Amino acid sequence: MKKYKFTLYIFILAFFILNITLMLNIFNAKNNIDSYIRLHIVANSDSISDQILKLQVTKNINEYIAKTTKSISDKKDYLFVIQNNIYNILSIAQDTITSNNSNYKVSALIGNIKHEDKKYNNKLMEAGTYLSLKVIIGDGNGENWWTLLYPSLPNELSIEDSLSNENIHFKSKIFELFKGLFD
C-alpha cells in the first residue's frame, strides 16, 4: 500500500511539474511574439511577373523604412514612425507598381495579424498573432515576402541580390510534398 501511495505522489508531482513547464513555455512564447513587428508584402498572384513586382516593391519599401527608422531602438517609437509614414509607404508601393507598367492598387494593414509558422535561416517564427505591417498588392492572392521590422533579422539577404539574380527559383508546395515522401 505504501508503494502504491508513493507512486501516486510521484505521478501527481510529475503531472504538476509538466503543467508548470508547459505554462512557462506558453508564457515565454507569448512574450517573444509581443517583442516583434513583422512586415509582409503579398503579391497579387503567384505569376512570375507578380512575384518579381512584389520583390521590387519590397526593395523600395525596405529602403524607405530603413532610412526613416535608422536611429530608433524602441519598439513603440518604431511603430509610431511606421504608422505616421503609412501614406509614404503606400505611395512608394504604388509608384513602384505604376513604374513597372502595372495597374494594381495597393493597400496596407497595421495591427495584430495571425501568421503561420515561418522559418528564416534555421530560426523558427512560431505561429501566432504578431504586430505587423502587411502591404497587399492587387488581390493579394500570391505568395508573401516577410521579415522582421523590429528587431531586424541579422545577416538578412539583400532584396537587391534577389532582383539582380537571373536564376530566380520558385517553389512548388506539391513538389515539396512529393519530395518529402521519398527523402
Whole-angstrom distance, CA of residue 135 vs CA of residue 35: 21
Residue 164 has pLDDT above 70, yes or no: no
101-146 confidence digits (pLDDT tens): 999 999 999 999 888 887 766 667 788 888 999 999 999 999 888 8
CA end-to-end span of the chain: 52
Looking at residues 151-155, what average pLDDT do you find? 57
The CATH number given to 35-164 is: 3.10.20
Task: Provide the pLDDT for residue 138.
Answer: 96
Neighbours of 133 (CB within 10 A): 22
DSSP letters, 125-159, are E-SEEEEEEEEEETT--S-EEEEEEETTPTTPPPH
Task: Provide the pLDDT for residue 161.
Answer: 41
Task: Provide the pLDDT for residue 27.
Answer: 42
Q: What is the pTM of this model?
A: 0.66
Contact between 96 and 56 (Cβ < 8 Å): yes
DSSP letters, 97-122, are HHHTT----EEEEEEEEEE--EEETT
Q: Please name the residue that has the C-alpha cell 495584430.
A: 112
Task: Provide the pLDDT for residue 26.
Answer: 44
Average pLDDT of the chain is: 77
Residue 168 has pLDDT above 80, yes or no: no
Radius of gyration of the chain (CA): 22
Residue 10 has pLDDT above 70, yes or no: yes
Instruction: Identify which has the larger pLDDT, 84 or 34.
Output: 84
- Dihedral, CA atoms, 142, 143, 149, 155, nearest 10 degrees? -150
38-62 confidence digits (pLDDT tens): 899 999 999 999 999 999 999 999 9
